[in-house]
Amino acid sequence: MLGIGNNEIHLWCARVPVLSGNTVESYRSLLSDTESDRYEKLRFERDRHEYLLTRVLVRTTLSHYLPVKHEEWYFTYGPFGKPQIEPSYKLQFNLTNTPWLVACLISRCGEVGVDAEPWRRAKDILEIAKDIFSPFELRQLYSLPLALWEDRALSLWTLEESYVKARGVGINFPLKKFSFLFDFSGISLKFDDKLNNEAKCWQFEVFDYERHKIAMMVESSSTVGIRKFYPDLQIIQN
């Protein structure tokens, strides 16, 4: 079994593989009835593929920490769809997926959120920057050289998404009411007074991997260490 302390988080990040028909059926056998129903309702094959791999990733990842079979993990869902382990085993997790990458973040510290976006989405995000970023973030963004705008926009978006996912509050959360501010010492988090939240309660990181921007958020008032794992989803069941 793999240990995880109260002052660390583990990120499991895997490239999306091409799966054979037999592997798909093997992975589907791990799903619960609820997960199978959702899988069947997804219209597009790409969406099914991503969903299946995130479910396989979280089930196999969690079994590294506790002697529970992959198919025996049970999940409940919050009012906005955030999954939780039942019983909790004092473990928190969050998932993200793109057509090329899936990731799972594990913690014993507190609530966690993770988001990944491919670099190619940076242009799209930049186009709607005024609708989603706070005045503080926009001021910093537009003060940068033009060549750096896309990278900053993608960093802001993934950080904000990871925070919203950690809170489990859904897509209608007021993104302009909090800000990620960049300076020479790093990145800081600032909240609008009306949000009734404290920046010191959150630790976060954003980095590049496999032509993606990945952001992680964990609810913790103390410094948290991060370990990263890169499993091969083709052999993850073994």
Q: Which residues pair with 191 in a beta bridge?
A: 178
Position 231 scores a pLDDT of 87
Is residue 206 situated within a structural domain? yes
pLDDT-derived band at 195 (thresholds 50, 70, 90) equals low
**Mean pLDDT computed over every residue of the chain:** 92
Is residue 184 situated within a structural domain? yes
**How far is residue 186 from each of residues 30, 96, 177, 192, measured CA to CA in Å?**
41, 24, 20, 20
Is residue 197 situated within a structural domain? yes
Rounded to an integer, the average pLDDT of 214-233 is 91
Structure tokens at 4: 């995880």
Distance CA 69, CA 235 (A): 16
Kindly report the CATH number assigned to the domain that includes residue 101. Answer: 3.90.470.20
Is residue 99 situated within a structural domain? yes
Least confident of 99-103, 116-120, 221-225: 221-225
pTM of the predicted structure, to 2 decimals? 0.93
Least confident of 11-15, 38-42, 233-237: 233-237
With 80 as the cut, is the pLDDT of residue 79 above it? Answer: yes
Q: HSE-up of 47 (CA within 13 Å, CB side)? A: 7
Is residue 172 situated within a structural domain? yes
How many domains, the chain? 1
- 153-182 per-position pLDDT tens digit: 999 999 999 999 999 987 778 888 899 999
Rounded to an integer, the average pLDDT of 96-107 is 96
- 128-158 per-position pLDDT tens digit: 999 999 999 999 999 999 999 999 999 999 9
Is residue 237 situated within a structural domain? no
Is residue 235 situated within a structural domain? no
Position 238 scores a pLDDT of 43
Is residue 177 situated within a structural domain? yes
221: containing domain: 8-229
Structure tokens at 235: 């052999």
